[in-house]
Amino acid sequence: MNKKLQLALAVLCLAIPFAYAAYLYPNLPETIPTHFNIRGEADGFGGKDSIYLGPIIMAFAGLFTYFLLTNIKKIDPKRSAQVDDRLFQNMALVIVIFLSALSFVILYMTTHPGMGVDKLLFPLLGLAFSVMGYFMPQLKQNYFAGFKLPWTLENEANWIATHKIAGKVWMYGGLVQILAGLLLDSMPSFILFFASMIVMVLIPTLFSYRMFKNGNEG
């Protein structure tokens, strides 16, 4: 996809939640929920203008991430020759789409405070982790994305092997999170989500260290 077209698509994705917020605004009460606990219960409130807070935060985060990933080749001090421009552009667009969807989740929960956070947020996060798992094995050594461990940055074979493992773990871990969010009650879903997160970080990290201790032989 053309760079300018992709940037326009990213901006459009981040703008859509603002349109949804504007649609909701006239029918909102003067005080609306702004924060929810893990059971989906409102525990923070603000004026109706705060409906735009979530989209604003996600738009800033999305634009920052997009421009960072699409300009890695210019700012990575060591690995620029290995960076795949198209891969990072695709990753940037996926992250923008995810943040836009997250804005919709926040807005929906604001107007439907009885909806459990796990039924919306955890499946969305699980989907994002699964997609990132798909990208993991394609990442070349760099300082901005992936498992940036001392052993992966020092040795290319370690990086490649670690990210192959990480890709599988993140794809399956994300699927577990999706199913947990959809099928389990709030507390078991919450526990399983964060337990799977720990596993998704620990397995590639321990694999990388073990490979380093074995002389970086697979």
DSSP string, 9-47: HHHHHHHHHHHHHHHHGGG--SEEEEEE-TTS-EEEEEE
Select from 65, 88, 115 the last residue of a domain.
Answer: 115
The CA dihedral of 57, 199, 206, 68, to the nearest 10 degrees, is -20
Tell me the mean pLDDT in the region 157-179. 93
Site of tokens 């590639």: 204
**Same domain, yes or no, for 105 and 121?**
no
Task: Decide if pLDDT at 147 tops 80.
Answer: yes
Task: Decide if pLDDT at 207 tops 90.
Answer: yes
Tell me the mean pLDDT in the region 51-61. 89
Q: Which residue has the higher pLDDT, 145 or 164?
A: 164
When pLDDT is cut at 50, 70 and 90, the band that residue 174 belongs to is: very high
Output the pLDDT for position 113: 65
**Same domain, yes or no, for 30 and 128?**
no
Q: How many structural domains does the chain have?
A: 2
| Cβ 94 vs Cβ 13: under 8 Å | no
**Same domain, yes or no, for 77 and 121?**
no
**Same domain, yes or no, for 99 and 15?**
yes
Residues in the chain: 218
**Same domain, yes or no, for 72 and 127?**
no
Domain that holds residue 207: 117-218
**Same domain, yes or no, for 121 and 170?**
yes
**Same domain, yes or no, for 100 and 122?**
no
**Same domain, yes or no, for 60 and 147?**
no
**Same domain, yes or no, for 127 and 98?**
no
Task: Decide if pLDDT at 45 tops 80.
Answer: no
Looking at the DSSP bridge assignments, the partners of residue 166 are none
Select from 115, 146, 164 the last residue of a domain.
Answer: 115
Task: Decide if pLDDT at 180 tops 70.
Answer: yes
Q: For residues 46 and 44, what is the distance between their CA atoms, to the nearest angstrom?
A: 7
When pLDDT is cut at 50, 70 and 90, the band that residue 111 belongs to is: confident
Tell me the mean pLDDT in the region 123-138. 91
Q: For residues 199 and 218, what is the distance between their CA atoms, to the nearest angstrom?
A: 21
CB burial class (10 A; 0-12, 13-18, 19+) of residue 84?
Answer: middle
Q: For residues 169 and 196, what is the distance between their CA atoms, to the nearest angstrom?
A: 10
**Same domain, yes or no, for 39 and 134?**
no
**Same domain, yes or no, for 111 and 121?**
no
Output the pLDDT for position 42: 64
When pLDDT is cut at 50, 70 and 90, the band that residue 31 belongs to is: confident
Helical H segments across 25-155, by residue range: 53-70, 72-75, 85-111, 117-135, 150-154
Site of tokens 């699980």: 126
Pairing status of strand 31-36 against strand 42-47: antiparallel
Output the pLDDT for position 12: 92
Task: Decide if pLDDT at 114 tops 70.
Answer: no
Select from 86, 115, 144 the last residue of a domain.
Answer: 115
**Same domain, yes or no, for 33 and 96?**
yes
